[in-house]
Structure 1
Amino acid sequence: MASNSSFAPPKLSDFILTERLGSGTYATVYKAYRKGDSREVVAVKVVGKKSLNRASTENLLTEIEILKTMRHPHIVQLKDFQWDADNIYLIMEWCSGGDLCRFIRSRRILPERVARSFLQQMACALQFLHERNISHLDLKPQNILLSGSVLKLADFGFAQYMSPWDEQSVLRGSPLYMAPEMVCRRQYDSRVDLWSVGVILYEALFGRAPFASRSYAELEEKIRSNQPIELPPGARVSKDCRDLLLRLLERNPDARITFAEFFTHPFVDMEHMPSAESLVKAKELVLQAVQKDQEGERSAALSLYCSALEHFVPSIHCKQDFPQVSQYVSRAEELKALVASDNRRSFEEARTSRDVLREMSRDQPRLLAALEVASAAIAKEESGMDDHEALDVYQQCLGELLLALAGTQTSFLSKRDGFIQLSCPLLL
């Protein structure tokens, strides 16, 4: 019994400490309940005073200073801190979903859409920190907690106030997630957090970190190498995802993506991440769509309905309900059909002028070729193929047409001026 007592949780006046959740160099985290009627669940980080040296004391004080004033939906909240003769206690918000490391391991790899949702939330928290010149310096899946589907940054034990021009050389964080400039003990700045984000995203998508190694020596050798990071063979990720990964995992910090570029990158797409503002934006856009719809401007209304839906979908993830969404989806589908019908009618009305021009172009092979390309583009659009695909063919047609016109005699142009003017709208 005596041997077990040494592992018993410490006593705290307002809380009952129960199971141990994890431990680090100088702290142990417990699940705890607040005494009294509320029975609020919290996490208590217990730091033994005897385990603290000068550096760890400074880190702890900085962590408390940073967390005690911060309130953000994607950063774990420090509710209170206490101390006694033996320990310092940080009473933290409880996150029931465990950490991101466990989440990834339980699923082996995450679908890109899930990884993107987590990345958006991480970016939201980092933007908040970056605006206050705070660097986390120990970003890794074990320090990212989940509360339902909500992600929260935790463990600010290595965090520092760092202006963009501040540089340090102290080794901080976990080697697998450290930026090369930190591992190589060169001067580094806040951009090391962006490297860590890249490693976390890579691990979420592919189930392992880019420098997974069997020993620290092997890890250090891989990190010090000048070989560019490559995605696993056969990696199936979107173009935007691939671009972001490779720009985050740039060994040279001066060539690495900047914070401003990261926050505005199309894969991060913070504008459409689930938030309390999602529904507000969606309502504003749908009101504009309804107005355009009533005015008979179908194309503009369709575009606005689609933009509104891009914000309605994230609002659902925030447990916001708006029953009219299905009506807007139906109306958008109706408008899509009507706009397509209008386009087909325009094509039919213009078919005669195209036929006349084709007849007059029989002795002009290049011009005839341009018209054939235009017909192919129209066919693609009428068949409902990808808009970008049809646009590419239209652009090819315009290139052929410009070359044809450049080589055509002035008299030919003047005689057929009316026909060319009539046909140009079909080719644009």
Structure 2
Amino acid sequence: MAGWAPPRLSDFILTDKLGSGTYATVYKAYRRHNTREVVAIKCVSKKSLNKASVENLLTEIEILKTVHHPHILELKDFQWDRDYIFLITEYCAGGDLSRFIRTRRILPEKVTQIFLQQLASALKFLYEKNISHLDLKPQNILLSSLDRPHLKLADFGFAQHMICQDEYQSLRGSPLYMAPEMVCSKHYDARVDLWSVGVILYEALFGRAPFASRSFSELEEKIRSNQSIELPTRPQVSRECRDLLQRLLVRDPDQRISFLDFFSHPFVDLEHMPCAESLQKATAFVVEAVEKDGAGEHAAALTLYCRALEYFIPALHYETDVRRKEAIRSKVCQYVSRAEELKVVVSSNNKSLLQQGISSRELLKEMSQDKPRLFAALDVASAAVAKDEEGMATDALDLYQQSLGELILMLAAESAGRRRELLHAEIQGLMKRAEFLKEQMKTYDWKSQSLGQEMLTESVQSSCSLQ
């Protein structure tokens, strides 16, 4: 429109319009006396504010002024004049997650996992302060930069301090990302944020939200339905990722995954978030691994090298200095090569143990003809060993865990005698092998995770070229 101009603010020059909503418009801006500082300014027109929107704005200012976290948008200041209230925040050059997903159609699982970790770390920080966001959606999640993308949780207008099991009855947020209890009963608590995380995760992986609809009436019908959420078969996602999705997208909040279980879920894996301590933790494991290696304790050394690699990946991602990053990467390659060598040695030792275990297992089966459940569990153990020998580690580990679950129960009920001794030895052997397989599967995961970090950077840069 001819003659259009952004609001005026004495200390800033407002330039590009970044977005707008019912009550506010966001602009990119530069501080007048420091041309290097770029910020975003949310301009809220006082004329558009009713009582509810004033409360929302005050809540947003209160929360953002008191929380400081690397994955929560920083509120630098707020000002006002006769017509506007101005929220001055850090500027996020990468746009929002909604646009990012739309330009890429779907995100690879490794990229999605990195973003999920960052979102989960912000939610854990808020959870510990009894704060719920209540309007989680990709439009409210920003990408901080182009070269080193970090998620920044924004727009706390609907956020609330949720003390214990406080319930709220007013409808908040966007229907596509709302938990069913918000729409159906309008009685809800902090657990609605977990449903919204599930919807965001689903959309990132499959390119659309689970309740994507052509009309509001169709959307409402899907929300009010009692049918469980079906996960698409394509693209394929890992077992851990599928498990998390299925536990987040549960209609009944009492059956939905809890916050604590979400934060500790293996797909979220907050323990291995990139941070300043990552390299220190990795180095401690390597020092111990080298000692064990030198003492000829190969299995223990392999396990410790694997644990070190789990922290080297986030250490690489956290490091910004190019030379230091290359030095770390070079060391990691050496440790992976040594782990490869140790794997051959340990695998050879384990194969001989497997062969020794076959005869005792067959004897145990002969002694268990009168116990069908024990006999069946030993059959599963035999199948696990067969898959193990074929090199099918994932299938073997599943079968090992199934058989061990049953055999441990059988051991508790078994009376003293030769069969109990054999069963105890069998369980020990299977547990040792299962643990080895777990470590073996982690050994090379650093390559795919490191690739995931590179894909993340490439994805952001690619999406920016499309914008």
Contact 1:137 1:158 in 2 (8 A): yes
Further displaced range: 381-390 or 52-61: 381-390
Measured after TM superposition, the shift of residue 340 of structure 1 is: 2.3
Measured after TM superposition, the shift of residue 385 of structure 1 is: 4.0
Q: Give the 5 Å matches for 1:311-350.
A: 311-319=311-319, 321=325, 322=328, 323-344=330-351
Q: Give the 5 Å matches for 1:47-126.
A: 47-126=44-123
Q: Which of 24, 43, 46 is the aligned partner of 1:46?
A: 43
Corresponding position of 1:289: 289
Corresponding position of 1:308: 308
Contact 1:374 1:427 in 2 (8 A): no
Give the AA of the match of 1:8. A
Measured after TM superposition, the shift of residue 249 of structure 1 is: 1.3
Measured after TM superposition, the shift of residue 293 of structure 1 is: 1.5
Measured after TM superposition, the shift of residue 394 of structure 1 is: 11
Corresponding position of 2:143: 146
Q: Distance in 1 between matches of 2:228 and 2:202?
A: 14
Q: Distance in 1 between matches of 2:402 and 2:429?
A: 9
Measured after TM superposition, the shift of residue 382 of structure 1 is: 5.2
Task: Report the 3-state secondary structure (helix = DSSP H, G, I; strand = E; otherwise coil) of the residue aligned with 1:255.
Answer: coil
- Report the number of matched residues: 404
Measured after TM superposition, the shift of residue 297 of structure 1 is: 1.0
Distance change (3 Å), C-alpha of 1:343 and 1:247: closer
Task: Report the 3-state secondary structure (helix = DSSP H, G, I; strand = E; otherwise coil) of the residue aligned with 2:26.
Answer: strand
Q: Distance in 2 between matches of 1:230 and 1:324?
A: 44
Corresponding position of 2:128: 131
Measured after TM superposition, the shift of residue 379 of structure 1 is: 6.6
Q: Distance in 2 between matches of 1:383 and 1:227?
A: 40
Question: What whole-Å deviation, never above 9, does each CA across 1:3-48 have from its counterpart, x for those lacking one?
Answer: 523x311111111100111111111000111113442111000011
Measured after TM superposition, the shift of residue 274 of structure 1 is: 2.3
Q: Distance in 2 between matches of 1:143 and 1:365?
A: 60
Give the AA of the match of 1:77. E
Question: What whole-Å deviation, never above 9, does each CA across 1:96-130 have from its counterpart, x for those lacking one?
Answer: 11000011001101111111111111110000001
Task: Report the 3-state secondary structure (helix = DSSP H, G, I; strand = E; otherwise coil) of the residue aligned with 1:40.
Answer: strand
Question: What whole-Å deviation, never above 9, does each CA across 1:288-317 have from its counterpart, x for those lacking one?
Answer: 212222222110110010011011112222
Contact 1:282 1:312 in 2 (8 A): yes
Measured after TM superposition, the shift of residue 324 of structure 1 is: 1.9
Question: What whole-Å deviation, never above 9, does each CA across 1:342-393 have from its counterpart, x for those lacking one?
Answer: 3456678x69x969x99x99x9998xx9999999876755554427527847
Contact 1:377 1:394 in 2 (8 A): no
Corresponding position of 2:455: none
Corresponding position of 2:214: 214
Q: Does 1:248 find its partner at 2:248?
A: yes
Task: Report the 3-state secondary structure (helix = DSSP H, G, I; strand = E; otherwise coil) of the residue aligned with 1:82.
Answer: strand
Further displaced range: 338-347 or 45-54: 338-347
C-alpha root-mean-square deviation of aligned residues, in Å? 3.6
Q: Give the 5 Å matches for 1:161-200.
A: 161-200=161-200
Contact 1:164 1:190 in 2 (8 A): no
Q: Give the 5 Å matches for 1:26-45.
A: 26-45=23-42
Distance change (3 Å), C-alpha of 1:339 and 1:38: same
Contact 1:29 1:45 in 2 (8 A): yes
Corresponding position of 2:444: none
Task: Report the 3-state secondary structure (helix = DSSP H, G, I; strand = E; otherwise coil) of the residue aligned with 1:4.
Answer: coil
Contact 1:394 1:427 in 2 (8 A): no
- Radius of gyration: which is bigger? 1
Corresponding position of 1:280: 280
Q: Distance in 1 between matches of 2:264 and 2:380?
A: 37
What residue ranges of structure 1 are gaps of 5+ in the alignment?
404-409, 415-419
Q: Distance in 2 between matches of 1:372 and 1:168?
A: 53
Task: Report the 3-state secondary structure (helix = DSSP H, G, I; strand = E; otherwise coil) of the residue aligned with 2:163.
Answer: coil
Contact 1:299 1:335 in 2 (8 A): yes
Measured after TM superposition, the shift of residue 278 of structure 1 is: 2.0
Further displaced range: 381-390 or 208-217: 381-390
Distance change (3 Å), C-alpha of 1:69 and 1:292: same
Give the AA of the match of 1:144. I
Distance change (3 Å), C-alpha of 1:378 and 1:51: closer
What residue ranges of structure 2 are gaps of 5+ in the alignment?
370-374, 411-416, 431-467
Further displaced range: 315-324 or 186-195: 315-324
Corresponding position of 1:17: 14
Q: Distance in 1 between matches of 2:427 and 2:263?
A: 39
Contact 2:176 2:209 in 1 (8 A): yes
| Aligned residues with identical type, % of pairs | 64
Contact 2:171 2:186 in 1 (8 A): no
Contact 2:119 2:151 in 1 (8 A): yes
TM-score with structure 2 setting the length? 0.77
Q: Does 1:4 find its partner at 2:2?
A: yes
Contact 2:170 2:186 in 1 (8 A): no
Q: Distance in 1 between matches of 2:183 and 2:258?
A: 20
Contact 1:27 1:45 in 2 (8 A): yes
Between 1 and 2, higher relative CO (CA 8 Å, sep ≥ 6) is seen in 2
Question: What whole-Å deviation, never above 9, does each CA across 1:380-416 have from its counterpart, x for those lacking one?
Answer: 555544275278479879x99xx9xxxxxx9xx89xx
Further displaced range: 96-105 or 29-38: 29-38
